[in-house]
Structure 1
Amino acid sequence: MGACVSTSSRSTRSSRSNGETVAHSFLGIGFCGQKRTKKTFSDHVYTLQNLHSIPNRIFTNGKSRASCIFTQQGRKGINQDAMVVWEDFMSEDAIFCGVFDGHGPHGHLVARKVRDALPVKLLSFLHSYQSRLNGSSKTCFKGNLKRSDGGDSEKDASAEEKLNVTWREAFLKSYKAMDKELRSHPNLDCFCSGSTAVTLVKQGSNLFMGYIGDSRAILGSKDSSDSMVAIQLTVDLKPDLPREAERIKRCKGRVFALQDEPEVSRVWLPFDDAPGLAMARAFGDFCLKDYGVISIPEFSHRILTERDQFIVLASDGVWDVLSNEEVVEIVSSSPSRASAARIVVDSAAREWKLKYPTSKMDDCAVVCLFLDGKMDSESDYEEQGFSSATLQSNHSGNAVESDDGQKSEPSLQRNFTVRSSDESDTYGRLPVEIEGNEETMAAEDQNWSGLEGVTRVNSLVQLPRFSEERP
């Protein structure tokens, strides 16, 4: 997916009220009291306008020093998944990873917007926190916090608790600011469009995660017998979770599944059989924000060990057909690390054809982060079907996209998960970066009709059983 950069002053600046850009210092986590010998974010100023020039940020199919990423369009139209890996995120030992799954008419634009803006907002809040900290105290929190075996357990527990509070606040505030920006965006209609998000920052041995929706992160680790095991790091925040369903119902939203897909619970308005959102938390989707759908992320912190090998983030197009254990097996047995994400997507595509032959395959996006920081050589990378030109474009030559959603009056349109050929032609004219074989697939997707099987997309739906308009 390409970059989606807003031209509004709101989205090209940090969250500071005076609108100035943020020159990031070490951001308070990990370098306090140490002599600064490595380059940190105090050497750079980042806004959404120059994201494409950041050398260690990738968002299209390719690899970085310690990761590989791959996305493939499904059979439902434009690819609405987005992903990003940003190395040297706030210091040279910090990496930001994220996968974003859009849904609705403008879901692909929402996903790209969140992919670009959310990490910058997270940096801004961390920087603001560090500024407050420096003004009131000399206390700091080590970014490479490890559990102690000695008598300093109370100090360690206190430091870990403060670290959790800091990062939790940063994730909560950045997610809140992201949703607020989407609500007031002048060129992007998010009334019936939205996106999931699964995001993490790895700094040293610490892993901080924030997530909404049903994109998922798992950890590949070795057990005591050196066998690979899968550990699920996030929870799929769907309406069928009791706590999520209870909140939605308290807000007068309705939760039920359709007869054709009884296993997929969806969120509906109290007064209309629309829109049918198959997740309980999301960015955007403002038609449901008064009825229980929220953008408040779940937060978690994990201390990594030497047994932990890699992390996989992926959209639900992967998890609908592959188990955690299968994905860990695929990644650990890949012929090269650079090909791991692509092989996971290829495996998911095969499973879609086998398990749901009458359904349209969902978009798939995968990020594989290897915790030892190592990657294959360039020759191994090229053997797997990637070119050095692709790699270089991810680092320095990314095309800059713009938000092209047109602002319109709020309306309860059903999503185009099921759509006519005329609607497909209109939808297909939205600009998108074509990657790999997606150009051929996109042409094919414009010809399918809406009744070729029940779609298993976790999105908004329009099904023929409901009348088009209600009084």
Structure 2
Amino acid sequence: MVAGKTEVATDPSSKEAQRMVASNGSVTLPQPASGYTMRYAFISQRGFYPDSPDKSNQDAALAEENLGGNSGMHLFGVFDGHGEMGTECARFVQDKLPANVCSDPALLVASPADALTAAMLSTNSQLHAAPIDDSLSGTTACSMVVAGRKLYVANVGDSRAVLAERSERQGEGLVACELSMDQTPFRPDECLRVLKAGARVLTLDQLEGLKDPGMACWTNEADCDGDPPRLWSPMGMYPGTAFTRSIGDQAAESIGVVADPEVTITQLSPAHQFVVLASDGVWEFITSQQAVDMVARFDNPYDAAKALVAQAYKLWLQKETRTDDITAVVLFLDWQQDNEQQSQQQQQQAPLRQHELVRTPSKNEQASSVAVNAVAGL
């Protein structure tokens, strides 16, 4: 990991880790062979929990430069822990994932997408074997490898990666392009997959008999009124996860909660201005487009990440009596001028969207005939 960066977060008992963890300002990574310079920063803000004032930050951020000794290849990630051992689970993945991505050097160079997938699954197995009780605890994981002019994003859970893309069709504004898709019961394909695996999908009101359990009283997040659909075992009132994929959560694997990531590849061009990776503490009350509009106001990623986290924190306090842990990684792409001119010519000839879902469903995912192929826009 980058010296002086994520190491600050590895001691969850420290008061600093309980409040905020941040990169040392904006970090610059030249990518001369690819025609741009990357600048990145991250902020992780501990949530406000009135009933648990000493609760540690269960989020973690990752920045690993020159992955596996490969110049110009870098790994970034956001991990949102949950459950009693959520902090330990998020830190475990933060610590183990880089080495696992690099465990097969030839595969990493030949196919970063496959290397990310294998690393997610092996990290999940390692967590199960570790002296951490992950039966009802785990973490989401949204990880991204930057390799030259390609972005490889692997996602499990409801953290998210968003790319800001300049669109001539909409003037000089930036358009938010989601490089991952939240894996929750709100997605029909994911809901069907876990139902076929034996899960009960119910809100808390349905589980407690306050609403008809036979009715899908939610169709999207705006309709759930703070009571989202959750996954429950047919054997009892657990695990209650509001997501359909994660690392850890052993007890939920029997009802379809898997660590198999959805992976996308994006071909970068000078039309792409920056990337935001963030935990759902950001996305709960901020849309992808709103995040892009906010980040675009700043000329460095540190101030952008700080403002995004602060706005998310403010919105939580306006709408709830608490806040979630909130983490954002922001990466600016500063293109050389000749590449900018070339991009403007290309925009007039072809659409800019170049995102591709590259991985076929695993054995676990094939329980649903629609599986991951319904990822919109990919």
What TM-score results when the alignment is normalised by the length of structure 1?
Answer: 0.57
Q: Does 1:245 align with 2:191?
A: yes
Corresponding residue for residue 269 of structure 1: 233
CA contact (8 A) 1:4 1:109 kept: no
CA contact (8 A) 2:59 2:87 kept: yes
Out of 194, 211, 214, the position equivalent to 2:158 is 214
SS state at 1:124 partner: coil
Out of 64, 69, 88, the position equivalent to 1:86 is 64
Q: Which amino acid letter does the alignment assign opposite residue 89 of structure 1?
A: L
Identity of paired residues, percent? Answer: 31
Aligned residue-pair number? 284
Corresponding residue for residue 332 of structure 2: 370
Q: How many angstroms apart in 2 are the aligned matches of 1:291 and 1:353?
A: 34
CA 1:373/1:68 → structure 2, altered by over 3 Å: closer, same or farther? farther
CA 1:336/1:177 → structure 2, altered by over 3 Å: closer, same or farther? closer
Q: How many angstroms apart in 1 are the aligned matches of 2:164 and 2:184?
A: 24
Out of 331, 339, 356, the position equivalent to 2:303 is 339
Moved more, 274-283 or 335-344: 335-344
Out of 81, 91, 97, the position equivalent to 2:76 is 97
Corresponding residue for residue 42 of structure 2: 69
Out of 95, 101, 111, the position equivalent to 1:122 is 101
Structure index of larger Rg? 1
Out of 206, 226, 235, the position equivalent to 2:181 is 235
Task: State the shift of 1:208 in Å.
Answer: 0.8
Q: Deviations over 1:55-107 (max 9, x none)?
A: xxxx8443321101001111232210000112222422112110000000010
Q: Which amino acid letter does the alignment assign opposite residue 69 of structure 1?
A: F
Corresponding residue for residue 46 of structure 1: none
Q: Which amino acid letter does the alignment assign opposite residue 120 of structure 2?
A: Y
CA contact (8 A) 2:300 2:332 kept: no
CA contact (8 A) 1:281 1:294 kept: yes
Q: How many angstroms apart in 1 are the aligned matches of 2:158 and 2:123?
A: 18
Task: State the shift of 1:372 in Å.
Answer: 2.1
CA contact (8 A) 2:107 2:114 kept: no
Out of 301, 305, 309, the position equivalent to 2:273 is 309
Q: How many angstroms apart in 1 are the aligned matches of 2:283 and 2:155?
A: 16
Q: How many angstroms apart in 2 are the aligned matches of 1:167 and 1:93?
A: 13
Q: Which amino acid letter does the alignment assign opposite residue 123 of structure 2?
A: M
Moved more, 322-331 or 190-199: 322-331
Out of 108, 132, 139, the position equivalent to 1:188 is 132
Task: State the shift of 1:205 in Å.
Answer: 0.7
Q: Which runs of 5+ in 1 are unaligned?
A: 6-58, 131-140, 142-162, 375-471
Q: How many angstroms apart in 2 are the aligned matches of 1:94 and 1:67?
A: 14
CA contact (8 A) 2:100 2:122 kept: yes
CA 1:170/1:336 → structure 2, altered by over 3 Å: closer, same or farther? closer
Q: How many angstroms apart in 1 are the aligned matches of 2:276 and 2:107?
A: 29
What TM-score results when the alignment is normalised by the length of structure 2?
Answer: 0.71
Q: Which runs of 5+ in 2 are unaligned?
A: 1-5, 12-20, 29-38, 50-54, 211-223, 337-378
Out of 242, 256, 277, the position equivalent to 2:202 is 256
Q: How many angstroms apart in 2 are the aligned matches of 1:205 and 1:129?
A: 18
Out of 259, 262, 286, the position equivalent to 1:298 is 262
SS state at 2:243 partner: coil
CA contact (8 A) 1:4 1:113 kept: no
Q: Deviations over 1:273-308 (max 9, x none)?
A: 222101000000101111110000001101011010
Corresponding residue for residue 453 of structure 1: none
Q: Does 1:173 align with 2:118?
A: yes
Task: State the shift of 1:251 in Å.
Answer: 1.7
Q: Which amino acid letter does the alignment assign opposite residue 252 of structure 2?
A: L
Q: Which amino acid letter does the alignment assign opposite residue 194 of structure 1?
A: G
Task: State the shift of 1:167 in Å.
Answer: 2.8
